[in-house]
Amino acid sequence: MSIGNYLVECVRSGYLKPGTRLPTHREFAEQIGVSVQTVSHAYGYAEKKGALESWVGNGTFVKSGFVDEITDSEFMLTQEMKETPDEIDMSIAHPVVTDRHVALFNQALMHIASQTNNRCLISKAKPVTGQPHHVESGARFLSSQGLDVGTEQVLLTNGASHGLTLALSTVVEHGDWVACGQLVDHGLISRSRMLGFKLQPLEMDEFGITPDAFEWACQHKPIKALCCTPSMANPNSAHMEQARREAIADIAKKYEIYVIEDDVYGALEPNRVAPLAALLPEQTFYVTSLTKVVAPGMRTGYLTVPRHFLQHAIGRLAATSWSATPLPFEVAHLWIENGTLNRLIRFQINEFAKRQRIAKTALQGHSFSAHPNGQHIWLKLPEQWNSDDLVASAKRSGVQITSYKPFVLDTNQPIPYVRISLGAETNRGYIKHGLSVISEILDTNPPTSHFLV
């Protein structure tokens, strides 16, 4: 393998992390015993492939959002539209699913069917926590996400929604206060109504919940738990850096607040920041799944529980579903062990990087927040538009988007935002067209209302 190809492979595999500064041409040449010219050619090749970027006077660095051509070729995405579709769905949080995903799933099922030791997938109802080999591979996946826990602390759930319900019902009682971001996933609002706890919204910035707002709530309200999404929060993609996570963890520890960490988007980070659970293991319930980073039907959820709550959580797991459905976890186990899961996640990272770049061009001149590898656009509307009018106008033009209303506690206080999701359509051309339609609508005035007298 040439030096240039080797560098690209090191970036592709994750061995070289985004932002890493490489040695100078001369230093690298001396390290591996080749000429400076050879290294210059290798760096240039890797830069052309999009794996590296050079800054005059600063050096050569591993590029964020590296687009993996091999992954792109494997998943064979259509980039252009052959015809304008009747409807483009940009309303649902959804990873990109291609024919290649279906083929890999079918291959996994055939492999499982060919095994002679698969009887446990249908004949066993215990252990409630999940089949041991599924738990072990799940713990390895969590380790790749920066969370090292013993297998005895890992419970398998039917998706992240199930895991969040188990975590909340384990520590929160009817009437308790739970802190959350002022913009919050609609699922938490539904769970608060189902379980009878009250939500205390906290001010947010681009890095998520602010420490000042969290500490104020701890001082003035009987907060029992904090429920948050530190990585690429839905809907505004607020993303906690390491320093913010440490500050939130310190406050939770100071006031003895339990943390329920929803990390369903975390694996999409090219440069992974350690979860809150790694900073506060004795107070944090950590929840993730493959639903948002592989495919919606992969409802394989992983919940980690502080040791002193394990029996309480296991009891609730048994009461809500007895145990998680084994077959999806057998597929996940196979993909974790043979490296397919890493390829699938890498594809999503690369694909959403491309879609975010499309969005940046299509929505030029409009204000929005997004993560470079995130699934969503949180679009701020110009003065003449409100959320309901834009959603209705976009729908009439064949594009589905989502109002701000599912993500706020008080819908009587309107805010000028909509969420645009980039993953439900496999065809990138549809995404580009849908965004162009929205941009064109925003550049006009809302239609005049008609009243019958």
Q: Could you read off the pLDDT of 124-176 as tens digits, one per residue?
A: 888 999 999 999 999 999 999 999 999 999 999 999 999 999 999 999 999 99
Phi/psi of residue 46, nearest 5 degrees: -65, -30
pLDDT in tens, 336-352: 999 999 999 999 999 99
Q: Contact, 384 vs 397, CB < 8 A? A: no
CATH architecture, range 124-338 = 3-Layer(aba) Sandwich (3.40)
At residue 278, the pLDDT reads 97
Q: Residues of CATH 3.40.640.10 domain(s) within the chain?
A: 124-338
pLDDT in tens, 95-117: 999 999 999 999 999 999 998 88
Q: Contact, 397 vs 434, CB < 8 A? A: no
The helix-helix angle for 132-144 and 326-338 (nearest 10°) equals: 50
At residue 452, the pLDDT reads 46
State the pLDDT confidence band at 123, using cuts at 50, 70 and 90: confident
CATH architecture, range 3-63 = Orthogonal Bundle (1.10)
At residue 54, the pLDDT reads 79
Q: Contact, 447 vs 393, CB < 8 A? A: yes
Let me know if domain 71-98+342-442 sits in CATH 2.10.25.10.
no
pLDDT of 453 strictly over 50: no
Phi/psi of residue 262, nearest 5 degrees: -95, 110
pTM check: above 0.75: yes
State the pLDDT confidence band at 68, using cuts at 50, 70 and 90: low
pLDDT in tens, 201-254: 999 999 999 999 999 999 999 999 999 999 999 999 999 999 999 999 999 999
CA distances from 409 to 185, 196, 199, 213, 389 (A): 10, 15, 8, 17, 20
pLDDT of 75 strictly over 80: no
How much is the average pLDDT of 307-318? 96
pLDDT of 94 strictly over 70: yes
Residue scoring higher pLDDT (208 or 29): 208
pLDDT of 313 strictly over 50: yes
User: Residue 163: which residues within 8 A CB-CB, separation 6 or more?
Assistant: 155, 157, 287, 288, 289, 301, 302, 303
Q: How many Cα atoms sit within 13 Å of 77 on the Cβ side?
A: 23
State the pLDDT confidence band at 9, using cuts at 50, 70 and 90: confident
Q: Give the gyration radius of the chain's Cα atoms.
A: 23
Q: Residues of CATH 3.90.1150.10 domain(s) within the chain?
A: 71-98+342-442
C-alpha span between 42 and 52 (Å, rounded): 10
pLDDT of 77 strictly over 80: no
Residue scoring higher pLDDT (225 or 452): 225
pLDDT in tens, 242-288: 999 999 999 999 999 999 999 999 999 988 899 999 999 999 999 99
State the pLDDT confidence band at 72, using cuts at 50, 70 and 90: low
If you average pLDDT over every residue of the chain, what do you get?
91
pLDDT of 67 strictly over 60: no
At residue 80, the pLDDT reads 62
Q: Residues of CATH 1.10.10.10 domain(s) within the chain?
A: 3-63
**What six digits make up the tokens of 102?**
């279906």
Share of the chain above pLDDT 90, in %: 75
How much is the average pLDDT of 18-30? 86
pLDDT of 193 strictly over 80: yes
pLDDT of 69 strictly over 60: no
Share of the chain above pLDDT 70, in %: 93
State the pLDDT confidence band at 48, using cuts at 50, 70 and 90: confident
